[in-house]
A and B are shown apart, each in its own frame.
Chain A
Amino acid sequence: ILNVEQSPQSLHVQEGDSTNFTCSFPSSNFYALHWYRWETAKSPEALFVMTLNGDEKKKGRISATLNTKEGYSYLYIKGSQPEDSATYLCASSGGSYIPTFGRGTSLIVHP
């Protein structure tokens, strides 16, 4: 089983702040890295999937980067809004292909 770590565990920011958090994963036998957004009382929704070292993906104010050689991915949110409040999950799939999820970063954006 892969060990996928996310940091920080939780984050409080003010509206308008930019923020970022980290997902660390084993770099050996890497196949894909997924980011999901999970709002309270809803189910996780896919944000990005990245497979190549150096991949960068962007969706509105949210972007992500991938470093497969050192085993980390960053998620950035520019100009955070209260509606960005959610738990952000990453999942890495290696040799077995079944993704392993991290415990998530809980983001709370204060108006």
Chain B
Amino acid sequence: SQTIHQWPATLVQPVGSPLSLECTVEGTSNPNLYWYRQAAGRGLQLLFYSVGIGQISSEVPQNLSASRPQDRQFILSSKKLLLSDSGFYLCAWSQLARDTQYFGPGTRLTVL
């Protein structure tokens, strides 16, 4: 069966510090991968999605970036965090773009 992992679970970072969140999927190959964010009091916002290694599409221009160095690994990064980057970050996968998405446990990021 398929499993999706995300880490860390919680993170408190100062403004201006770098960020690296990692997501890995087990039990499937060539999945579509997604990064979402839920800011306080807001809905689920799609940040990036990837249909294959090295293929990243950005939905919202900002100071975040994503990379997919391996088939089942998806990384969300920032060189300098902003206060507005605080939120709950979710990684998800689906077999095809139109299919049901399966979400990881999430990372709660607080930028102070």
A-to-B contact residues, CB < 8 Å: 1, 31-32, 34, 42-46, 49, 89, 91, 93, 96-104
Distance A99 CA – B36 CA, assembled complex (angstroms) = 12
Q: Is B7 an interface residue (CB 8 A)?
A: no
Which of the residues B44, B98, B99, B106 comes within 8 Å of A101, measured between beta carbons? B44
Contacts A43-B105, A43-B106, A44-B90 known; A101 to B100 CB distance under 8 Å? no
B31 to chain A: closest CB distance in Å? 14
Kindly list chain A residues whose C-beta atoms are within 8 Å of the C-beta of B42: 103
Kindly list chain B residues whose C-beta atoms are within 8 Å of the C-beta of A31: 98
Distance A32 CA – B95 CA, assembled complex (angstroms) = 14
Kindly list chain B residues whose C-beta atoms are within 8 Å of the C-beta of A32: 98
The interface on chain B, measured as residues whose beta carbon lies within 8 A of the other chain's beta carbons, has a size of 19
B-to-A contact residues, CB < 8 Å: 36, 42-44, 46, 49, 59, 90, 96-106
Q: Is the CB of B43 within 8 A of A103?
A: yes
A90 to chain B: closest CB distance in Å? 11
Most chain B C-beta atoms within 10 Å of own C-beta, residue among A31, A34, A99: A99
Contacts A43-B103, A43-B104, A43-B105 known; A97 to B43 CB distance under 8 Å? no
Q: Is the CB of B98 within 8 A of A93?
A: yes
Kindly list chain A residues whose C-beta atoms are within 8 Å of the C-beta of B100: 34, 46, 49
Most chain B C-beta atoms within 10 Å of own C-beta, residue among A1, A32, A44: A44
Which of the residues A45, A98, A103 comes within 8 Å of B46, measured between beta carbons? A98
A111 to chain B: closest CB distance in Å? 26
